[in-house]
Amino acid sequence: MSPENLTFESQGVQCAAWHYPAAHDELATEAGRPALVMAHGLAGTKDSGLSPFAEAFAEAGLDVVLFDYRGFGASEGMPRQTVSLAGQVDDYRAALTAAAKLPGVDSSRLVLWGVSLAGGHVLSAAAGRHDIAAVVALIPMVDGIAAGVHATKVHKKRELLRATRLGIASKVSTARGRGARMIPVVARPGEVGAFTLPGALDDYLSIAGPTWLNQIAADVTLELGSRAPAKAAATLTCPVLVQIADFDQSAPPHSSAKAAFAAQAEVRHYPGDHFDVFPGKPFHGPAVKHAVSFLVRHLAPVREKDLAHG
């Protein structure tokens, strides 16, 4: 399935996206089809392992908008490769506005899907809205403080201290007008990088697309500390699916479970690590199947014959 190129504006900046048209109208009502908005996690780009997810959702009957955050991938925006949690949530909201304007889409039935860091973004973006029909959070990172504590179990103390020092140095450099200091997104254990767990480098490179850069502003280590979308989970009134990797060394599974409980969400568990739900990994198929089943179940329109048999 070849997507169509799409652009939309977020805070005055052009964001690049792909639109996967729905394969059929089985989820449509008189008002139109549901539309799903999705984006990647930390420093990820739309061409990095997300197309199989988008294609499955489009085949199920949803229009899909898969986009790059400002400053990443094919989107415009400066500074480049710098994570702003609030800014990325704003990009999700702008993408929702764009999806709602697509031909044949029901603007009152929008869906949010996010993975890893974006799994937290979608909880925040859905809060306070009445046009969100469903939310899917895959291996979500929802609590920065808990993630920091979790990191102490899988990283050496000197590695964490080094990351903190680099983050502070990057903040200072930016404040002085010299720009952020960059580090690799992913590296081998013991090296400098945002992801340095065993196997993480190979896992990330296996899904990396042509626009992806192994580079990120070092102050991401400080930015993530303010991550708290779990608080928004309790305010959601739409159906929510939270998909948890039980041996996730990056996004604490217990934090995801707490957020799911607060949202009264449906929960699916996978006995693997963070990257094990991506294409080519053992739990990718089940993760896609469960998400599609959840969405079809909650988005399928009630037909007259269904009411007659009710």
Specify if 189 maps to a domain. Answer: no
* pLDDT band at residue 164 using 50, 70 and 90 as cut-offs: low
In a domain, 265, yes or no: yes
Average pLDDT over residues 124-152: 82
Query: How many whole angstroms separate alpha carbon 50 and alpha carbon 4?
Result: 15
- pLDDT, residue 216, reads 92
- Residues 289-297 have a mean pLDDT of 98
Q: Quote the number of domains for the chain.
A: 1
Cβ(264)–Cβ(235) under 8 Å?
Answer: no
* 153 domain-assigned: no
Give the percent of the chain with pLDDT over 90: 71
Which amino acid is located at 65 in the chain? Answer: V
Q: Which residues contact residue 191 at a Cβ distance below 8 angstroms, ignoring those fewer than 6 apart?
A: 184
Rg of the chain over all Cα atoms, to the nearest angstrom: 19
pLDDT digit string (tens) for 198-210?
A: 899 999 999 999 9
Report the distance separating Cα 57 and Cα 154, nearest Å: 34
Q: Cα 114 vs. chain centroid, distance in angstroms?
A: 3
CATH of the domain at 137: 3.40.50.1820
Tell me the pairing of strands 13-20 and 63-67: antiparallel
Q: What is the mean pLDDT of the chain?
A: 89
Q: Residue 168: its pLDDT value, please?
A: 62
Q: What is the pLDDT of residues 26-85, one digit of tens each?
A: 999 999 999 999 999 999 999 999 999 999 999 999 999 999 999 999 999 999 999 999
Domain containing residue 261: 4-144+226-298
Mean pLDDT value across residues 121-132: 96
pLDDT tens for 270-283 read 999 999 999 999 99
Task: Identify which of 152, 114, 147 has the alpha carbon closest to the alpha carbon of residue 132.
Answer: 114
Q: Is 137 within a domain?
A: yes
Residue 283 lies in a domain: yes
The pLDDT-based confidence of 194 (bands split at 50, 70, 90) is confident
Residue 121 is inside which H or E element, if any? Answer: helix 117-126
Pairing of strands 182-183, 216-217: antiparallel
Q: How confident is the model at residue 305 (pLDDT cuts 50, 70, 90)?
A: very low
Question: What's the CA gap between 242 and 44, in Å, rounded?
Answer: 20
Residue 176 lies in a domain: no
The DSSP annotation for 125-185 comes to: HHTT-SSEEEEEEES----HHHHHHHHHHHS-HHHHHHHHHHHHHHHHHHHTTS-PPEE-S
| This prediction's pTM | 0.90
Whether pLDDT at 22 is above 50? yes
Residue 174 lies in a domain: no
Domain assignment present for 258: yes
Tokens standing for residue 109: 């039935």
